[in-house]
Amino acid sequence: MEINELNPDITSVAPSALRAFDHKISQDPNIVKLTLGEPDFNVPEHIKLAAIKAITDDKSHYPYYWGIQELRDAASEYYREKFGYNYTADQIVCSVGATEGLAATFKTLFKPGEGVIIPAPAYPVYKALAGVNHLKAIMVDTSTSDFVLTPEQVQAAIDANPETPIKGVVITDPCNPTGVIYTEDQLHALVDVLRDNKIWVISDEIYGKLLYGGAKHYSLSAWLPDQTIIVNGLSKSHAMTGWRIGFVFGPTGIIDEIAKAHQFQVTTPTSIVQYASVEALTHGQADAEKMRVIYEKRCTYLAAELQKLGFEMVKPGGAFYIFAKIPEICHQTSVEFADELAAKYHVGVMPGKPFGDDRYIRISYASSMDNIKAAVSGMAELLQSKK
Ligand code: PLP
């Protein structure tokens, strides 16, 4: 049997460059890593206990494919209160992490040959999903507009692709990798061009609970409820990355179709995780807030230190990343910079290239303050060596 006889939709997909880079530098036992978007907190005890209770209570049967009613009720209430969403339980599908929710959404909304606008730099999964669904990923550089997509950029992408019906746009707010958030006005400015051109919004709001400086979270679903699908989940807000729980919110009718795609892909998240997630949503708000406060302190410290070292950045307003421009004196691509930093100074940061911009590095502060300080020292030494 030959690999080239397998499905090229899969065999042509490059393995995650982010994971590959992280794996490479992890061979160094002394490496200090600020690479992955992986909270450095454990799952809160009461959520673990809820999972154990679900096991001992024999909650071991196939859950309904949309997710258990209790969890969809809890998600409806939690996200209404915390994010201002307006979705009832029958407009919510529980997915296997936000990633599977994104996959079911892409599969349902678009037909082969259609175009999806992806503001770059971007989380690489969107481009991969466009690829496996035979879509044209239209990467729009937002580095000229402080990493915020503008209506002019959307119109320019439409004009530049007359052969491709553009059917979707991905908005990641707060953004991975930039940490940038949209103001209410910036989001509202997109409404007319998206409505007039009947463009679906895939709104990835997985970092929406991690906002700093008193910022408020907005969602295009407020203005475009009939053409927005929101993806969210507990990976980042509740440090539950490995538990694999996410949510898709959408208008009646459309969400039923996304639920079908989801059912064929994976059936459901495990029953145990679903019951524990009810606990996370109903009694886990203080945990999420405690982590947010710690991330904010780290963000303030790291941004100030990086600026002292000569890195330029757009002030991050959320998530747990800083996307910093490599200082001119280095004359290096992002991969060269990250490789040298890891090899000589034992500090791991993500090159910007896999996100779509080779002039930057992404630094994750989902890591202890000690690690952040060690990383700053390593970067200071590297920069000193360039003078
Ligand atoms: N969306 C964005 C923007 C992310 O950065 C990530 C993970 O890093 C995900 C989705 C995936 O979330 P999940 O773990 O819920 O699949």
Output the domain CATH number for residue 111. Answer: 3.40.640.10
- Cβ atoms of 367 and 301 within 8 Å: the answer is no
Return the pLDDT at 19: 85
Q: How far is the CA of 98 from the centre of ligand 1 (A)?
A: 6
- The pLDDT-based confidence of 18 (bands split at 50, 70, 90) is confident
Residues 69 and 217 in one domain: yes
Instruction: Verify that 121 and 63 share a domain, yes or no.
Output: yes
* pLDDT bucket at 265, cuts 50 / 70 / 90: confident
Whether pLDDT at 290 is above 90? yes
CA 107 remoteness from chain centre: 18
Q: What is the mean pLDDT of residues 360-380?
A: 97
How close is the Cα of 220 to the center of ligand 1, in Å? 19
Which token pair is 113? 């040959």
* Phi and psi based region of residue 242 (left: phi greater than 0; alpha: psi -120 to 50; beta: remaining): alpha
Predicted confidence (pLDDT) per residue in 215-262, tens digit: 999 999 999 999 999 999 999 999 999 999 999 999 999 999 999 999
The tokens 């999806």 sit on which residue?
116
Query: Mean pLDDT throughout 196-221?
Result: 97
Looking up residue 322, the CATH number of its domain turns out to be 3.90.1150.10
Distance 150 CA to ligand 1 centre (A): 23
SS3 call for 171 = strand
Tokens at 371, concatenated: 């690690």
Residue 175 Cα: closest atom of ligand 1 = 3
Average pLDDT over residues 363-387: 95
Cβ < 6 A, ligand 1 pocket: 37, 97-99, 123, 172, 176, 204, 206, 233, 235, 241, 246
Window from 26-30, 243-247, 263-267, 383-387 with minimum mean pLDDT = 263-267
CA dist 149 → 92, 155, 173 (Å): 27, 11, 11
> CA-to-CA distance for 157 and 149, rounded, in angstroms?
11
Rounded to whole angstroms, the Cα distance separating 260 from 189 reads 33
Tell me, yes or no, whether 103 and 74 share the same domain.
yes
Residues 126 and 224 placed together within one structural domain of the fold: yes
The bridge status of strand 360-364 relative to strand 115-120 is unpaired
Residue 292 and residue 177 in one domain = no
Q: What pLDDT, in 10s, does the model give residues 46-77? A: 999 999 999 999 999 999 999 999 999 999 99
> Which atom of ligand 1 is nearest the CA belonging to 99?
16
Mean pLDDT of 277-303: 95
Residue 280 has pLDDT above 90, yes or no: yes
Sign (positive/negative) of CA torsion 254, 251, 71, 44? positive
Last residue of a domain, one of 250, 283, 316: 283
**Interval 306-335 mean pLDDT:** 96
CA of 206 to the centre of ligand 1 (A): 6
CA angle 342, 343, 345 (to 5 degrees): 65
Which pLDDT score is estimated for 6? 87
- Do residues 204 and 306 share a domain? no
Q: Running DSSP on this structure, what letter comes out for residue 13? A: S
CA 102 to chain centre: 10
Q: Name which residue sits closest to atom 12 of ligand 1, judged by CA.
A: 98
318 φ, ψ (degrees, to nearest 5): -175, -170
Ligand 1 atom closest to the CA of 96, numbered from 1: 16
Locate tokens 């002394």: which residue?
30
pLDDT at residue 186 above 80? yes
Question: What is the mean pLDDT of the segment spanning 84-97?
Answer: 97
**Same domain flag for 60 and 87:** yes
Residue of the CA atom closest to atom 7 of ligand 1: 37
pLDDT of 40 > 90? The answer is yes
**Cα(373)–Cα(306) distance, rounded to whole angstroms?**
11
Mark whether 334 and 233 lie in a shared domain. Answer: no
Q: How far is the centre of ligand 1, averaged over its atoms, from the C-alpha of 186 (Å)?
A: 23
Q: Is 122 helix (H, G, I), strand (E, B) or coil?
A: coil
Give the helix/strand (H/E) hosting 6: none
pLDDT band at 5 (very low <50, low <70, confident <90, very high): confident
Q: How far apart are CA 73 and CA 59, in angstroms?
A: 18
Averaged confidence pLDDT in the chain: 95
Same domain, 250 and 322: no
Q: Give the number of domains in the chain.
A: 2
Q: What is the pLDDT of residue 14?
A: 72
What percent of the chain is predicted at pLDDT more than 70?
A: 100
- The mean per-residue pLDDT over the stretch 206-212 comes to 96
State the residue for tokens 């000690």.
370
How many A from CA of 205 to the centre of ligand 1? 9
Nearest CA to ligand 1 atom 5: 176
Instruction: Select from 283, 315, 340 the last residue of a domain.
Output: 283
What integer pLDDT is reported at residue 103 of this predicted model? 97
The answer to whether 347 and 31 are in contact (CB under 8 A) is yes
CA of 97 to the centre of ligand 1 (A): 7
3-state helix, strand, coil in the chain (%, to 5): 50, 15, 35
Query: What is the pTM for the complete model shown?
Result: 0.96
Mean pLDDT across 191-199:
98
SS3 at position 281: helix
Residue-level pLDDT at 25: 93
Peptide bond into 121 cis (omega under 30): yes
315 and 380 within one domain: yes
126, two tokens: 């969107």
Q: CB within 8 A of 302, min separation 6: which ones?
A: 322, 363, 365, 372, 376
Question: Are 176 and 35 found together in one domain?
Answer: no
* Residues 301 and 325 reside in one and the same domain: yes
CA angle at residue 338 from 181 to 179, to 5 degrees?
5
pLDDT band at residue 2 using 50, 70 and 90 as cut-offs = confident
Q: Tell me, what's the pLDDT at 107?
A: 97
Domain that holds residue 307: 3-43+286-385
Q: What is the model's pLDDT at position 16?
A: 80
Q: Where is the domain boundary, 247, 265, 283?
A: 283
Do β-strands 32-34 and 115-120 pair in parallel, antiparallel, or remain unpaired? unpaired
